[in-house]
Amino acid sequence: MFRFLLMFFLLYGGLHGYAFWKIRSAFFPGPVISVLVAAVMALMIVAPALIRISERHGLEWTARILSHAGYAWMGILFLFAAFALAFDLCRLLVFLSGLVWRMEAVPFLLSARFAFFLPLFLALGIFVYGWFDARNIRIESLTIQTDKIPPETGRLRLVQISDIHIGLMNGPGFVSRMVRVIQEAGPDLLLSTGDLVDGQINSIEKVLPLFQELRPRLGKYAVTGNHEFYAGIAQASEFTRKAGFQMLRGEGVTVAGLINIVGIDDPTGRAVEGHRPVEEGELLNTMPVQHFTLLLKHLPLVDKHAVDRFDLQLSGHTHKGQIFPFSLITRWYFPFHSGSFRLSDISRLHVSRGTGTWGPPIRFLSPPEVTVIDLVAAGNPVERVSGRQTGQSSGGRN
């Protein structure tokens, strides 16, 4: 955790330093203005920490104001820096080309002021678009034909939500929209693959009645993400239970004699006293092999020793980067970045883009997702669900 925070503040501070340099290059502000700009940037750098401190001391309105200002600033700054850096690289290439070809490159170079305003306007425009896009939840649908669903069962519909991050930024309004999407899908099972809550959960119980409206006939199940541990695992578990979910922490259940559901704790829990690590393959071996086996796991990492012992792994965490071009970094770190993947003839993986947002309240080229998965008996006709169809497969364990 300490290393993560250190890296975060170093990188975030570096973005502010670059933006400060761009301001100085474009406007040549005097010492008073420079100090004021530096002070505002310093406040924004530490805003995420101040938000958590304010929450812990019950200063909800202070935390709310800081979160809206600080996370909006974070999103705009990231987009501005990405565009500005791209333009600066282009300027450098033009300048070097002029030296190599002994040409006058000045007419092709952007002025420092124009090179500041162009990325700024692009960043502001994308921020506005991304704010609306983050509230436009998409349905991603997946149909799996399997010989482990009895023909008389017909269709078994699973709905996956992930990375909602209920808290200061995603409250009752967002949860209400999400609940409507889920209700329209008509799930038999509702599954949460982690980060249901954000870092602090002092004032989010007002969303509980919305979750309690969701009553799928076969129940609701959840696993931990890293933010459940940041929030405090005891508090997060209690909130999840009150929302109607059964939390699976290194354990499995067989539901209605139809489907096995196995839940694995997020690795962040290793730092928690009393945490007991679970070997996935051994846990999966305890489940009845004749049933379709669902593995819930927050991180989209695949244990090679567990492949072929489950039929479908559901994960989240990546947000598909949430804001392009940050997705280029998350894709490098998580090869299974977003969407559905065949792991073997038996096992497959679906990685959700996430339903909510973390930090900046925007999404760009990574729209929010509620995943609808239909399990149908092999040979049965495939039904379609409103929304985009992401894949279809057949499979079963011998």
Residue type, 354: G
Residue type, 328: L
Instruction: Give me the mean pLDDT over the 357-372 stretch.
Output: 97
DSSP 8-state symbol, 279: -
How many CB atoms within 10 Å of residue 141?
Answer: 22
Q: Alpha carbon 314 to chain centroid distance?
A: 13
DSSP 8-state symbol, 321: G
Instruction: Give me the mean pLDDT over the 237-259 stretch.
Output: 96
- What is the token pair recorded at 19? 């933006």
Low-confidence winner among 23-37, 92-106, 366-380 (lowest mean pLDDT): 92-106
Q: Are 79 and 323 in contact (CB under 8 A)?
A: yes
- How many secondary structure helices (H) and strands (E) does the chain include? 10, 13
Q: How far apart are CA 57 and CA 63, in angstroms?
A: 10
Strand segments (E) across 9-102: none
pLDDT of residue 320: 98
pLDDT of residue 108: 54
Kindly tell me if the per-residue pLDDT of 316 is higher than 80.
yes
pLDDT of residue 389: 39
Confidence band of 398 (pLDDT split at 50, 70, 90): very low
Higher pLDDT, 383 or 151: 151
Burial class of 148 by CB neighbour count within 10 A (0 to 12, 13 to 18, 19+): buried
Residues 73-132 have pLDDT tens digits of: 999 999 999 999 999 998 888 777 767 766 665 555 678 899 999 999 999 999 999 999
Kindly tell me if the per-residue pLDDT of 395 is higher than 50.
no
Proportion of the chain in helix, strand, coil states, percent, rounded to 5: 45, 20, 35
Please provide the distance, in angstroms rounded to a whole number, between the alpha carbons at the two ends of the chain: 42
Would you say how long the chain is, in residues? 398
Residue limits of CATH 3.60.21.10 in the chain: 138-395
| Residues of the chain above pLDDT 70, percent | 90
Kindly tell me if the per-residue pLDDT of 271 is higher than 50.
yes
Helix or strand holding residue 356 (H, E): none
Higher pLDDT, 205 or 138: 138
pLDDT of residue 55: 84
Residues 149-173 have pLDDT tens digits of: 999 988 999 999 999 999 989 999 9
pLDDT of residue 103: 64
Kindly tell me if the per-residue pLDDT of 342 is higher than 70.
yes
Q: How far apart are CA 160 and CA 178, in angstroms?
A: 11
Q: How far apart are CA 71 and CA 76, in angstroms?
A: 9
Burial class of 32 by CB neighbour count within 10 A (0 to 12, 13 to 18, 19+): exposed
> Whole-prediction pTM value?
0.92
- What is the token pair recorded at 277? 């690590």
**CATH of region 138-395, choose from 3.40.50.880, 3.40.462.40, 1.10.3720.10, 3.60.21.10:** 3.60.21.10
pLDDT of residue 36: 98
Strand segments (E) across the chain: 138-146, 155-161, 189-192, 220-222, 246-247, 251-255, 259-264, 292-297, 312-315, 339-342, 348-351, 369-377, 388-395
Instruction: Give me the mean pLDDT over the 200-206 stretch.
Output: 74
Instruction: Give me the mean pLDDT over the 37-51 stretch.
Output: 96
Phi, psi of 153 (to 5 degrees): -70, -30
Q: Are 298 and 193 in contact (CB under 8 A)?
A: yes
Q: How far apart are CA 70 and CA 48, in angstroms?
A: 7
Q: Alpha carbon 350 to chain centroid distance?
A: 13
Q: How far apart are CA 85 and CA 14, in angstroms?
A: 13
pLDDT of residue 3: 77
Q: How far apart are CA 239 and CA 256, in angstroms?
A: 25
Q: Are 192 and 221 in contact (CB under 8 A)?
A: yes
Q: How far apart are CA 234 and CA 215, in angstroms?
A: 24
Instruction: Give me the mean pLDDT over the 119-146 stretch.
Output: 98
